[in-house]
Structure 1
Amino acid sequence: MYAGTFTIVAHDRSTGACGVAISSRMPAIGALTVFAHADFGAVATQALINPLLGVDALELLGSMPAEEALEGALAKDPDPDSRQVVVVDRRGRSAAHTGTMTHPWCGHRTGEGFAVAGNILTGADTLDAMADAWSAKPDLTFDERLLGALEAGQAAGGDRRGRQSAALYVHTGDPYPYLDLRVDEHPDPVAELRRVHGVARRELLPFVAALPTRDNPHGSFERLHE
């Protein structure tokens, strides 16, 4: 199945975090397309989805920059012309591939610290809006910038077939994600992701901040004492 999708992958220079925001007119788009780790970078694979591209590119990012990792992953793929892949590495270098068989409108944009891509879109305005939104508000938190770029893409048109799912994934370097939010089936998934994100910022992220880490195995939980 071709996944008409619009996506941003990005690296946060100030914190070292890497992440992805994505939306599509197919269910559970975040389940098989999103890959990120702060020690390596971030990858999204879409169009005729091949999750192995995400796995392979993220592994290659451990030893090479974004462009080389993307080329290396695509070299293993039997049908690269049907794929769309965006990559950013842990130094903010970005790369993208839109295969010649990817359904229109399709394309990508790359910049320092980010890449955006989409296929089966209403038009180029979707990606232009995402890139502009990402660049316009560098003082926002990383998760807010990613979500804001996704919202801008939706407002500019998004997937021309409609709306169904969205996801936001942020990795900050621990063995587990900092934020992993998904709306797997909803009539307005980006708006619902915004609502869920608001709940997560209030109720989940303070808990995540207290979780055990390699440097602090006990965590920072407040314990009640009788």
Structure 2
Amino acid sequence: MSELNTFSIAARCPRTGQLGVAVASAVPAVGGLCPYLRAGIGAVTTQSWVNPYLAARILDGLGAGLGPDAALAAALATDDRPDLRQLGLVDGHGMAAAWTGAGCTAEAGHRTGPGYAVQGNMLTDPGVIDAMARAFEESAGHDLDERLMRTLEAGDAAGGDRRGKQSAALKIVAREDYPSLDLRVDEHAEPVAELRRILGVARCQLVPFVAGMPRKDGPAGALPEAVSAMLLRPPGERPGSAPADISDLLSDVIGLPPEAAERMAHLQAQFAPVLAEIRTLRALDLTQVHPAILFDPSLPYRGVPHE
């Protein structure tokens, strides 16, 4: 059992029925211990002094027909230290519940709404929870992966874990027994920003692959030819990939020294698409399209006689 001082969201998409969890913490590999999901049943995140068995019992209760509050209460009744636990959950219908034990490290709290539960402990400010809830509510027109990502980014921007940053994760299930998306940043100076970058890569490379995987209610089939062809290419040549020398390019473009590692990691994640475009433009030879234009700011001061 380990203490995970964390901020997270468990949520359901009313349009697709997808269930998901997004979480960030200042401990490594938060995605390996906190999120637990079952397609069509529910999504749970367990944190503070983590007890994964509570998440399993909650999902069992939801699967047996209990509502979220009843499933949460029944699970907590089996635990000898519920005061140390923090849990958030949403069921397959979008009903939510949460628990923050009195022994969780302050600032600690939670908030539930239609289709979501947000929670956190050892936060820099109680406003982190409000910022996360607001981000989820205001992104209703987007797919679940984007809503979860924006919620996590809002919590990060509002201060997040007061100890700092280390890991983040995003996991979604749809109809299958395997996840439709399962992304993790296990050790990084800017894990939420890095998770955003990885999500962009996954949308181009992983999501099409998962969409072609076997389904429990249909023939296994094979991957579409275009997806197979894309995945046979080296990672750096696939859609969504950043150039291998992006750190050197970032340093060159904005003048940031390579030894500024933490700032470099943050900017690399934020501006990867822009830097990739700059790299592409630099590689173009446009001399046959337009002659080179030289700008000389000293020209007006050279004493060129006027007619």
Q: Tell me whether the two structures share a fold, i.e. TM-score over 0.5.
A: yes
3-state DSSP class of the match of 1:218? Answer: coil
Tell me whether 1:105 sits opposite 2:137 in the alignment: no
The sequence identity of aligned pairs, in percent, is 50
- Residue in structure 1 matching 2:207, options 170, 180, 205: 205
Aligned pairs for 1:26-45 (under 5 A) are 26-45=27-46
Q: Which of 64, 75, 78 in structure 2 is aligned with 1:76? A: 78
Code of the aligned partner of 1:167 = A
- For 1:51, the equivalent position in structure 2 comes to 52
Query: How much does 1:152 deviate?
Result: 0.4
Residue in 1 that maps onto 2:219:
217
Question: Within 2, Cα distance between the matches of 1:89 and 1:55?
Answer: 13
Distance 2:11 2:215 in 1: 24
Amino acid paired to 2:44: V
Q: How far has the Cα of 1:124 moved from its partner? A: 1.2
Q: Which residue of 2 aligns with 1:154?
A: 156
- Judge conservation of contact 1:34–1:43 (CA < 8 Å) in 2: yes
Superposed counterparts of 1:184-195, under 5 Å: 184-195=186-197
TM-score of the aligned structures, taking structure 1 as reference length: 0.96
Distance 2:224 2:93 in 1: 36
Distance of 1:108 and 1:99 partners within structure 2:
11
Q: For residue 14 of structure 2, what is the amino acid of its counterpart?
A: R
Counting only pairs closer than 5 Å after superposition, residues 142-181 of structure 1 correspond to structure 2 as 142-181=144-183
Unaligned ranges ≥5, structure 1: none
* Corresponding position of 1:127: 129
Which AA in structure 2 matches 1:65? Answer: G
Structure with the higher helix share, 1 or 2:
2
Structure of greater relative contact order (alpha carbons < 8 Å, 6+ residues apart): 1
Shift >6 Å, 4+ stretches:
none
Partner of 2:275: none
How far off is 1:215 after superposition? 2.1
Kindly state the Cα deviation for residue 61 of structure 1 after the two structures are TM-superposed.
Answer: 1.0
Does 2:121 correspond to 1:116? no
Higher strand share: 1
Q: How many residues align?
A: 224
Letter in 1 for 2:35: V
Residue 2 of structure 1: how far off its partner (Å)? 2.0
CA distance in 2, matches of 1:131, 1:38: 23
